[in-house]
Amino acid sequence: MSDLNLTILPESPNDAHAIERLHERTFGPGRFALSAYRLREHVDHICALSFTARIGTLLVGSVRQLPITIGESPALLLGPLTVEPPFRSRGVGRLLLDRAIADARAQGHRLIVLVGDEPYYSRVGFKKIPRGRVTMPGPVDPARLLVLELAEAAFDSVSGPIRPDWSKAKSA
């Protein structure tokens, strides 16, 4: 990765437009129909737990996390994680993930969930959520619903619907 001279920094409000363009290029207009986007409609991501990857001033990747609840338990929803296609398979996504997880843990968060590919995310400790234990709004493939415990046994008694953390809802 050193050949890229990559910088991982917390997202700032000034990054929003460039990140939206990145999401548009990498996920297309169909992204708004995804279940995770339904949660994002109500609660903003946490800039202090969301990160950008840059080479010089060029934005090449981004990861966001937003506050949710699972039943009554607080958690974070990770995503989207995206990297510009020419920079994929060069460790950018992994560096973004590592930073997001480390900072969430350091700030005292106990759980992160996401919808994604288990073979990719299991490399940093995510595991499949047992079928039926957690539900998301809208359709989602239960095999792609993953959890990472940031504290030992943090997921043991957690179950229920995933919802936005309404205490952090966007103002109307």
Task: In whole angstroms, give the CA distance from residue 163 to residue 141.
Answer: 17
CATH number at residue 78: 3.40.630.30
From the number of C-beta atoms within 10 Å of its C-beta (0-12, 13-18, 19+), residue 120 rates as: middle
Residues 126/147, Cβ–Cβ less than 8 Å: yes
- Higher-confidence residue of 141 and 112: namely 112
pLDDT tens-place string over residues 16-48 = 888 888 878 776 666 555 666 667 777 888 999
Residues of the domain holding 50 = 2-168
CA trace torsion 73, 33, 131, 78 (10° rounding): -50
**pTM, whole model, 2 decimals?**
0.89
pLDDT at 172 over 90: no
pLDDT tens-place string over residues 33-89 = 566 666 777 788 899 999 999 999 999 999 999 999 999 999 999 989 999 999 989
Task: Quote the number of domains for the chain.
Answer: 1
